[in-house]
Amino acid sequence: MDDLDAVEVTRAFLAYCQPRVRGTLTIVTDDCWRTDVDPLEVSAADPSFAASYPEVYDSAFISGDTIVLSPATGTVIVVHHDELIATLGSVSV
């Protein structure tokens, strides 16, 4: 991802996530290894947090490994720093 435009990566990732998630999301970014950065709790309906992320954390939103948890849909989306995305879903029984 280092050679890709951070804004375009974020835009593409949000477009990928949008139909797969809803409700309150917990997002663990690559910056969460820092003691001053906690996982984000955000609304799937308002992706504006991603645009302000670089200003707040001095890092691109998708700058490495990222995990998105959507309890409302039972979906987990994982971005690996080697540009891979894994999507896990659950079904009701």
pLDDT truncated to tens, each residue of the chain (93 aa)? 557 788 888 999 999 999 999 999 999 999 999 999 999 999 999 989 999 999 999 999 998 899 999 999 999 999 998 888 999 998 766
Q: Has residue 32 been placed in a domain?
A: yes
Nearest to 68 by CA among 17, 8, 10: 17
Q: Has residue 66 been placed in a domain?
A: yes
Number of Cβ atoms within 10 Å of the Cβ of 40: 19
Instruction: Name residue 66's beta-bridge partners.
Output: 79
At 50, the amino acid letter reads A
Q: Has residue 93 been placed in a domain?
A: no
Domains in the chain, number: 1
Q: Has residue 1 been placed in a domain?
A: no
